[in-house]
Amino acid sequence: MSTSSGKVFRDQVFSNYLVAVIVVWLAVLITLCLGPALKHTLTFFFCAVMVSSWYGGLWPGLLTAFLSILALDFYFIPPLYSLGIAVAELPDMLAFSATALFISWLNSDQRKVKSSLRQARDELDANIRERTADLNRANLQLQSEIAERRVAEEGLLQAQNELARIARITTMGELAASIAHELNQPLGSIVVNGDACLRWLEGTPPNLEEARQAVEAIIRDGTRASDVLVRTRKLVRRDEGTRESLDVNAVIQEVVVWTNDKLQRSGTQLRLKLQEDLPPVIADRVQLQQVILNLVMNAIEAMLEVSPEARTLWIRTERQVFGDLLVQVADSGSGIDPKHSRQIFEPFYTTKTNGIGMGLTISRSIIEAHGGRLWIGKADGGSTLCFILPIKRERPRG
């Protein structure tokens, strides 16, 4: 870079002085051609000095001025074609010299300012280019980081979904007795109805009306049993997190069916206080079921320490002033030790002998992924877990 710029600089200096010589020659030629038509002989030489000093700076300007003086003296000032000078012409020549010098100085000064301005501008340009490049680089890096983060987030989400599914299966394991009961109930009716149907058919004469009713009951119970299986499969399936418009009350009712058996076995009274005409929420049905199921199971287990008569479970829903939907699951157990109220949301924290300690952690992350919040509410005796879900405000992802 330095050699090429040095060469450019040398070429520039050379051309500056070349211009100085050329303009003087041009001035001489034009002045000679115009001859007496020209009023002032000096005019074009002033021009020459101006052009040269403007183009080449101080020194080419001075050279032009010097050459001009020589040319003027030689061609136009008597005695013509000699370098001698008449005394009468001296003031003119001195004035010309002074003016030429001043012009050269003025022009070169302006040129300096201009060039320093240009330099400043060039530097600025270079700076801007550099900064832009820096910014671009940073931008690229940021984008790649964002992409990386997105991948990580997706991985996290996947892991979270998988964990939620495992927790769900664990819960389902706990509910296995309940599922068996749910299935055996209709199966029991089917078998009894089938036997009764055979007996009505074997009678003499066969009672077809009774037999028909029995078969109809069998069909009804068969459908009931298959509903149980559909519900079970839904709860265990590997879900992709599909959001749909849901009636929270209906979801709660569904979950309650699952826990009926556990409620009955523990002698727990269930009190539902579901506000009617709630607007729908946008949520993942299975995940929401899971959260409610988890809170209900926790509540039931929390009450095992108190006597059966004192076991009551409340589930309440209501619309909040700010447009959110509040769900509360409260129990009449011994309550949550305030010392543990923060820990219970931590992974693998459990007070149960056979718990994995992920229930509340997962529940909270599910609710937060839905743009809601899950927390321990205030309760006089027992404990209350609350969560809110936003109404109609769909989150972009999660």
How large is the C-alpha radius of gyration of the chain?
Answer: 49
CA dist., res. 55 & res. 44, Å (int): 16
Note whether 131 binds another protein by CB under 8 A: no
Looking at the Cβ atoms of 136 and 264, the one nearer to another protein is: 264
CA dist., res. 194 & res. 217, Å (int): 9
Letters for 263-292 (x = contact with another protein by CB under 8 A, - = none) are -xx-x-------------------------
Note whether 181 binds another protein by CB under 8 A: yes
CA dist., res. 165 & res. 158, Å (int): 10
Site size for another protein (CB under 8 A): 32
Note whether 229 binds another protein by CB under 8 A: no
CA dist., res. 211 & res. 197, Å (int): 5
Note whether 58 binds another protein by CB under 8 A: no
Looking at the Cβ atoms of 214 and 385, the one nearer to another protein is: 214
Residues 6 or more apart whose Cβ sits within 8 Å of residue 201: 207, 208, 211
Residue 378 gets which letter from DSSP?
P
Of these, 15, 189, 334, 350, which contacts another protein (CB under 8 A)?
189
Among residues 249, 244, 254, the alpha carbon closest in space to that of 285 is found at: 244
- Minimum Å distance from CB 211 to another protein? 9
Note whether 310 binds another protein by CB under 8 A: no
Note whether 232 binds another protein by CB under 8 A: no
Stretches 18-26, 212-220, 230-238, 341-349: which one binds another protein (CB under 8 A)? Answer: 212-220
Task: Show contacts with another protein in window 233-262 (CB under 8 A).
Answer: 261
Stretches 22-30, 145-153, 211-219, 354-362: which one binds another protein (CB under 8 A)? Answer: 211-219
The C-alpha torsion from 364 through 326 and 339 to 160, rounded to 10°, is: 0
Q: What is the DSSP string of 93-123?
A: HHHHHHHHHHHHHHHHHHHHHHHHHHHHHHH
> 216: how many CB neighbours lie within 10 A of its CB?
12
Of these, 19, 63, 71, 214, which contacts another protein (CB under 8 A)?
214
Q: What tokens appear for 78 in the block?
A: 């008597």
Looking at the Cβ atoms of 109 and 195, the one nearer to another protein is: 195
Q: Which residues bind another protein (CB under 8 A)?
A: 177, 180-193, 195-196, 199-200, 203, 207, 210, 213-214, 217, 220-221, 224, 261, 264-265, 267
